[in-house]
Structure 1
């Protein structure tokens, strides 16, 4: 089964490849940022700083 894209085939293929590359880069960026943020949070918690959302309402008084 072959698909004829006509005279704009190179533009269509290039556009889809560019979009796929951008999506892959964004996914990688989110993964890297998530790991960085969890590492920073872990370092803060180890130094004694805790999240307010981690405490109960009675601890905040």
Structure 2
């Protein structure tokens, strides 16, 4: 199936390529940030820091 994009073919192809590149960069950024945050949480857990959200209202001093 061949599509004719007309005189604006280069603009259309460039726009789709730019959008695909931006989406790929955002996905990569999220993956790297997730790994960084997970690593930082593991370090905090190892050092003995606890999460405040784990306490109930009754446990508050």
TM-score (norm 1): 0.87
Alignment: residue pair count: 61
TM-align CA RMSD:
1.1
Query: Residues of 2 paired with 1:33 and 1:22: CA distance?
Result: 16
Q: List gaps (5 residues or longer) in structure 1.
A: none
Match of residue 39 from structure 2 = 39
Unaligned runs of 5+ in 2: none
Instruction: List 4+ stretches of structure 1 deviating above 6 A.
Output: none
* Matching residue of 2:28: 28
